[in-house]
Structure 1
């Protein structure tokens, strides 16, 4: 029986081939020998550089010659007017970020997998770039992984394939690339890749995973051009909706800093990921405007360790997070890919959320403060029956601090917990909405939390009595210049809000959302978020 071997497979976009898919500064060597088993028309590049000594050799004063040597290869295969790339070792880093179909591995896997035999998932929540890997010891259906399809994007999936594909491979892992093991011989690899492209083009996944269509990648080149122009405008106008994020799972237990390059060298290091620092870098290089989307591909965000060594590096385009709306359709940019949000789903969100929005409020006045804490104090000072609990804590001893609310009062003979946030940035609002739910859960489940809240409001006996009775309402106050209802929030904030109000509804907690008009010209304030 032939030995099974692992392959990592990329499908290049129509406009890319071996001639333009590699990075300009790649260090691969073109294979020139003739006597080999490569299929006709294929092209191989090798990674065959002398290795460096590991850092710990000199650290421990070891004299013996030690070298870390990494070998690798990258093969371009012509398959029915397309190019497929097989990568071995770390050579996939030599491919341009925009040269391959980002959904090839995942979509092929979704079409090929047995829906009841999934083993592992990597998911991304675009609203805050939160990543999570879920693994189980035995294969199961996707429902077992408790994935919320309306707010998460599946980035990687591993499982056993349907019986009809067992002649090709038994298991598959799909992300941007497809990882499989196969016992096929070199002269059969072209046909394998041809079959994989056929699987990729199928729509079987719609039947197997129907909810996955709420969020889909944008592939139409004309639509992408429009979205690119929208992105350039956003970078020029600097809305809060456009931010930078590390497009990968990062180990935050290790210290790191950030540097930018691609438009000229800079020795400036930054402590965190902030789009304003990238703009500062461009200004240092005398670049006042970016009019070409390709500049975001050339410019790099480098994550460096304490010794200044690069851990990972990403182009700026891949690091953007951005929500926008064009011709009534909502889009989200994440990890270099644009996603279209299903219109019916958008309507469903608005229908579910709009009844919770109120057009006026009894004490949440317009905001003329730069800081949230100052605004909360101003509301307290203007209303004798309102207390400010900003920066207080009701979590049980030894647990992570949980703020009960920013402002507290009595409304309709119930304790009204008011949570305030300046900004309609998606990740900030997600924190706001989760805070409202977490606070109620603690007060309902933990006597210690209720006692802490009663201590905070002990000057008002009525508050304490209502807390003992478990009677609450929640109000979310969002400081913004926007007017309207849920349609004014970023798409993933709406999804997060729906999850929050549904959780409160289950607990029989009335909820309302109010837009607090923002009188402050915040473009004159350095943005810390």
Structure 2
């Protein structure tokens, strides 16, 4: 029986071949030998670097000659009107970043896999950049891996293929490249690659894994160049869709200042993040933005009251931006571009819009710069509303959990209201999770229930509702976008919100979202840039 061997396989884009796919500064040597087993028309390069001694040789003072050889190869195979590349060792780094199809490995694997025989997944959650590898001791269905298709991205997938492909290969791992093992001989490799391209071009995965590609990171440099051009145009035209945000959760109750740098020193500083401040800084420095790379070289610094920098981010990473390219929707978040399936966006809006309400009994328009001031104003204007902003109901020894910003009784239910300025704050997901965590604690932890009773001065009516766990949750989002409902939120905030309302629904807790009109001109008041 022929021995099975491993192959890492890339598919070049139609405009690339062996002549232009390698980096200009590659250090590979082309093989020019007769009587090899290479298929006709194929081209092979090898890497045969002289090895260095391992670090531990000198560390332990050894005199013996020890060398780590670095050898590898790249084989370019002509397959009809395309080129396929087989890489051995680490030579894949010698390929130009934009030379190959970035979805070849994953899509081919999705089309070929038996959906009940998956062995491993690598998952990314764009919302918080959480990465996770999940492995199963036995081949399992995708359900075993607990993948939330509405918020997770499959980066890599490994499993056994369907019976119809067993003659070609038994297992597959897909990412940018396709990793398979095969016992086929060199004269059969071209036919194997032809079959792989045919599998890649199928759309079987849409039936087998219907929701697995709702959100995908954009890895193709050519597409990223076009998207960055859209970003540059948007910065010039200043649409509402392009905003700056702090790409981490921030406690807005702690005072801080914002300064911009990278184009020269400036005395300008701001009380919060808004894109007009960055524009003002550029104007002061007489700097024109004509290249996206400038966004990578310019920085937004978050400083404490003493002027010490506590966090710093480049401007590119701080942009939030939705746009369309070739009738497809893309989202820029924390320096990464994502493709969002159009049908998925529509399903999100259909699911979320019913939770948005047109009016509220006590949440009035906002005339305050800060959230805490707004919350206090609502409580002052309504005798039956208690402000619990910055209060804590977490059990002893646990991280602080705020019960809500405002609490009141409506229709014999304890109404918990969570308020946030801006519908594009990077901390929206934190706000949504806070609402769920608060209710869970109040239902499960007697100490948390007691703390809430004390915070409301043991109001008998409220205490009775706490004992009976009769709650409802409302998220009040202060914005000028009061007529867009779910479209008011960035795409990943919508995903987070859908997860939240579903979690509350399982607990039997009514949930609503109310868009509070913002009367503050935040650009002129050095406050949070809303719209």
CA contact (8 A) 1:430 1:496 kept: yes
Point out the more displaced range, 161-170 or 77-86: 77-86
Residue by residue, what CA displacement relative to the aligned partner does 1:385-432 show, whole Å, maximum 9, x if unpaired?
A: 333333333333444443222222222232221112233337532222
CA contact (8 A) 1:113 1:172 kept: yes
Corresponding residue for residue 45 of structure 1:
45
Kindly name which structure, 1 or 2, has the bigger radius of gyration based on alpha carbons.
2
The Cα shift of 1:502 comes to: 2.2
Change (3 A) 1:66 1:388: farther
- Partners of 1:216 and 1:161 in 2: how far apart? 23
Residue 444 (structure 2) pairs with residue 445 (structure 1)? yes
- Partners of 2:476 and 2:122 in 1: how far apart? 33
CA contact (8 A) 1:129 1:245 kept: no
The Cα shift of 1:5 comes to: 1.9
The Cα shift of 1:381 comes to: 4.4
Change (3 A) 1:207 1:358: closer
Residue 440 (structure 2) pairs with residue 473 (structure 1)? no
- Partners of 1:319 and 1:190 in 2: how far apart? 46
The Cα shift of 1:229 comes to: 4.2
Q: How does 1:85-484 map to 2 (within 5 A)?
A: 85-212=85-212, 214-215=214-215, 227=227, 229-236=229-236, 237=238, 288-290=288-290, 322-324=321-323, 330-332=329-331, 338-343=338-343, 345-425=344-424, 427-458=426-457, 460-484=459-483
- Partners of 1:243 and 1:175 in 2: how far apart? 31
- Partners of 1:44 and 1:279 in 2: how far apart? 51
The Cα shift of 1:120 comes to: 1.3
Change (3 A) 1:502 1:371: same
CA contact (8 A) 2:453 2:459 kept: no
Change (3 A) 1:355 1:526: closer
Corresponding residue for residue 269 of structure 1:
none
- Partners of 2:435 and 2:122 in 1: how far apart? 27
- Partners of 2:180 and 2:529 in 1: how far apart? 44
- Partners of 2:62 and 2:274 in 1: how far apart? 45
CA contact (8 A) 1:76 1:86 kept: yes
- Partners of 1:3 and 1:375 in 2: how far apart? 72
Change (3 A) 1:318 1:462: closer
Change (3 A) 1:80 1:463: same
- Match of 1:92, SS? helix
Provide structure 2 residue ranges, at least 5 long, that are not aligned to the other structure. Answer: 249-261, 264-272, 300-313
- Partners of 2:286 and 2:184 in 1: how far apart? 55
CA contact (8 A) 1:240 1:425 kept: no
Change (3 A) 1:421 1:199: same
- Partners of 1:300 and 1:147 in 2: how far apart? 37
CA contact (8 A) 1:357 1:514 kept: yes
Corresponding residue for residue 74 of structure 1:
74
- Partners of 2:318 and 2:120 in 1: how far apart? 25
- Partners of 2:97 and 2:295 in 1: how far apart? 8
Corresponding residue for residue 514 of structure 1:
514
CA contact (8 A) 2:417 2:476 kept: yes
Point out the more displaced range, 197-206 or 356-365: 356-365
Change (3 A) 1:55 1:367: farther
TM-score normalized by the length of structure 1? 0.77
The Cα shift of 1:518 comes to: 3.1
The Cα shift of 1:475 comes to: 0.7
Aligned residues: 486
The Cα shift of 1:201 comes to: 0.8
- Partners of 2:121 and 2:295 in 1: how far apart? 28
- Partners of 1:131 and 1:465 in 2: how far apart? 43
The Cα shift of 1:158 comes to: 0.8
The Cα shift of 1:29 comes to: 1.8
The Cα shift of 1:462 comes to: 3.0
- Match of 2:348, SS? helix
CA contact (8 A) 2:97 2:221 kept: no
Residue by residue, what CA displacement relative to the aligned partner does 1:463-494 show, whole Å, maximum 9, x if unpaired?
A: 22221121111010112221221122223322
CA contact (8 A) 1:245 1:321 kept: no
The Cα shift of 1:215 comes to: 4.7
Provide structure 1 residue ranges, at least 5 long, that are not aligned to the other structure. Answer: 247-262, 265-273, 302-314
Residue by residue, what CA displacement relative to the aligned partner does 1:9-45 show, whole Å, maximum 9, x if unpaired?
A: 1112222233333344x44223244244333333333
- Partners of 2:320 and 2:132 in 1: how far apart? 18
- Partners of 2:200 and 2:182 in 1: how far apart? 18
Change (3 A) 1:479 1:128: farther
Residue by residue, what CA displacement relative to the aligned partner does 1:296-331 show, whole Å, maximum 9, x if unpaired?
A: 999999xxxxxxxxxxxxx99999874335798643
Corresponding residue for residue 303 of structure 2:
none
TM-score normalized by the length of structure 2? 0.77
- Match of 1:7, SS? strand
Change (3 A) 1:373 1:316: closer
- Partners of 1:39 and 1:322 in 2: how far apart? 47
- Match of 2:401, SS? coil
- RMSD (CA atoms): 4.4
CA contact (8 A) 2:124 2:154 kept: yes
CA contact (8 A) 1:10 1:104 kept: yes
